[in-house]
């Protein structure tokens, strides 16, 4: 395929990696682990893989000899920058184990395993995709692996290809599925290892052993560049308030990181809204107050950052959505009802309190809340136009204040949703390096016969040579949550810690940002140049790391 000058140059980039992964490695095991919550239930569900130790790789004196091994790989869920480098690292890793090892990619996600759609990934193919964005090497999909029938269908093709290990690259739900699959294959002595890799631009797959999910760094830098461009335009034209919705269904990590990078006038953090038990009107009043205060200085312009999952964190809305989830799961006939009758049908099924909230919403937003859930049973918050809802409601609030002379100014808006723009960007140096190391670490876990683990690379605010690679038992991250009307084991999401240094740093400065025009313009991702320009991790990760050191 034709390549741009940047693609050609990037294809020559050699990812930096932990010194421990260069050459022969040995495996060091830590203490036995337990799940983050609901230990008794999780142990019952995962008797074969529960309690395994955390693993660290260290340099060994000599290379062990390994037989060739065939490995399968799946890209699962939404795209995230760096996925191709995980596959490249995995490919190089298993070839280092034995040059006759082979790698097979399952096409369009977990569905490719179940439906037996695959391709062998050779050196020529891998080399085409090194350091590139997207998942187009083999595609991705959102099929959930949760039924024995699927496991058995997958096992047929794994046996036919003599695949001894399967690597699933995905987010919290995909890695939960990987854990379930690992448990099943081990319980039936299938002879297939299952390893996960932490992917999601949302940044909510992290814990004490997983510092960050890959793609978060690149996505935040991509969004921050565009927000910075908008802020430059905002400060030039001085006539619009820009309402910008950002990815982050369950957590506000992207909004927080972008705020730290660009210094907007307002940034909402869903977790804080929930903690303060704010109503929708409280949120609108907060934004309107910032608009009015700037208007008093003659500044009728500004920027507002909004996490896409905000609606679910407003307590009354969260209660409404939870009941809607139950109703939609119990009444599949809802889809067959005429569109003009759907709203009343839902209102009749809701409790009195939630019916009142649902009735108060603009019809378009109310109906967006009833759209089909995603495969994991979650409301499709990206379809809810929160940025337009808030812009409209702030406008109405300001009109009310105008009549009582509480506000004098002009209020014109532009709305934006930055989502797909960041998911397939060419990975930053950080993500290119981190992902390649994850792939190498996954190959190491395979070589040592491990299953039910997630590849882990830590200490990533240090130079890459000092990074710590290893593996974490996926059961260590599990808890029980209600999904589609049932209690299910899932990886516990990492939400924004309101007591953590990243949020406290933001909170200490936002009052000044609201009044001043203290915009930052990060510019595009830099791939070449001084390390302090090209290789820096996110501000969030730097602050979290410095907090741990203290």
Catalytically active residues, by annotation: 202
- In sequence order, the 6+-apart residues with CB closer than 8 A to the CB of 338 are none
26: left (phi over 0), alpha (psi -120 to 50) or beta: beta
Side-chain half-sphere CA neighbours of 89 within 13 A? 35
User: Between helices 253-262 and 539-549, what is the axis angle to 10°?
Assistant: 100
> What is the C-alpha to C-alpha distance for residues 453 and 444, in angstroms, rounded to an integer?
11
Distance from C-alpha of 450 to C-alpha of 192, rounded to nearest angstrom: 10
Q: In this structure, how many other beta carbons lie within 10 angstroms of the beta carbon of residue 408? A: 11
Beta strands of 115-271 (E only): which ranges? 118-120, 163-170, 193-198, 241-246, 266-267
CA distance 368 to 381: 8
Kind plus residue range of the DSSP H or E element containing 254: helix 253-262
Under 8 Å CB-to-CB from 35, ≥6 apart: which residues?
42, 43, 50, 475, 476, 477, 478, 479
Which stretches within 61-147 are classed as H helix? 83-97, 110-115, 123-129
> Distance (Å, rounded) from C-alpha 393 to C-alpha 411?
12
* CB-CB contact of 178 with 170 (8 Å): yes
Supply 477's token pair: 């991250």
Helix, strand and coil content of the chain, in percent to the nearest 5, comes to 45, 15, 35
How many CB atoms are closer than 10 A to CB 293?
16
């Amino acid at each position: 395929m034709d390549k741009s000058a940047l693609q050609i140059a990037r294809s020559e980039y050699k990812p930096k990696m932990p010194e421990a992964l260069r050459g022969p490695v040995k495996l060091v095991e830590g203490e036995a682990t337990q799940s983050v919550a609901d230990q008794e239930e999780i142990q019952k569900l995962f008797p074969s893989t529960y309690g395994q130790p955390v693993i660290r790789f260290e340099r060994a004196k000599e290379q062990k000899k390994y037989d060739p091994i065939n490995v399968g790989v799946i890209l699962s869920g939404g795209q995230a920058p760096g996925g191709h480098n995980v596959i490249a690292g995995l490919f190089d890793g298993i070839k280092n184990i034995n040059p006759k090892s082979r790698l097979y990619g399952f096409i369009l996600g977990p569905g490719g395993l179940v439906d037996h759609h695959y391709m062998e990934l050779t050196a020529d193919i891998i080399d085409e995709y090194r350091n590139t964005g997207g998942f187009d090497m083999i595609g991705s999909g959102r099929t959930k692996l949760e039924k024995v029938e699927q496991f058995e269908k997958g096992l047929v093709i794994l046996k036919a290809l003599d695949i001894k290990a399967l690597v699933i690259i995905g987010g919290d739900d995909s890695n939960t599925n990987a854990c379930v699959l690992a448990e099943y294959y081990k319980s039936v002595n299938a002879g297939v290892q299952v390893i996960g890799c932490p992917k999601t631009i949302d940044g909510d797959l992290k814990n004490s052993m997983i510092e960050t999910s890959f793609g978060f760094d690149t996505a935040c830098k991509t969004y921050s560049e565009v927000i910075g461009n908008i802020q430059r335009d905002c400060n030039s034209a001085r006539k619009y308030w820009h309402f910008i919705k950002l990815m982050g269904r369950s957590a506000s990590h992207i909004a927080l990181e972008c705020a730290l990078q660009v210094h907007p006038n307002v940034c909402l953090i869903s977790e804080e809204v929930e903690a303060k038990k704010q109503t929708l009107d409280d949120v609108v009043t907060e934004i309107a107050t910032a608009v009015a205060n700037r208007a008093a200085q003659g500044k009728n312009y500004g920027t507002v950052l909004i996490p896409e999952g905000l609606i679910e964190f407003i307590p009354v809305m969260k209660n409404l959505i939870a009941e809607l989830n139950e109703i939609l799961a119990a009444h599949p006939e809802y889809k067959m009802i005429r569109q003009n009758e759907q709203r009343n049908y839902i209102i009749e099924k809701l409790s009195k309190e939630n019916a009142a909230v649902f009735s108060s919403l603009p019809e378009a937003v109310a109906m967006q809340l009833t759209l089909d859930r995603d495969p994991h049973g979650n409301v499709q918050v990206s379809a809810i136009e929160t940025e337009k809802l808030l812009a409209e409601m702030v406008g109405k609030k300001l009109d009310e204040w105008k009549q009582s002379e509480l506000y004098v100014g002009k209020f014109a808006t532009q709305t934006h949703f930055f989502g797909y723009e960041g998911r397939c960007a060419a990975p930053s140096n950080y993500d290119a390096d981190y992902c390649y190391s994850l792939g190498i670490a996954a190959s190491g876990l395979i070589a040592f016969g491990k299953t039910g683990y997630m590849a882990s690379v830590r200490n990533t605010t240090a130079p890459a040579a000092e990074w710590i690679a290893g593996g974490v038992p996926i059961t260590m991250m599990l808890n029980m949550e209600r999904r589609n009307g049932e209690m299910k084991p899932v990886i516990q999401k990492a939400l924004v810690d309101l007591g953590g240094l990243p949020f406290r740093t933001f909170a200490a400065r936002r009052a000044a940002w609201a009044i001043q025009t203290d915009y930052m313009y990060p510019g595009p991702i830099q791939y070449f140049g001084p390390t302090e320009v090209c290789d820096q991790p996110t501000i969030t990760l730097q602050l979290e790391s410095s907090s741990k050191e203290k």
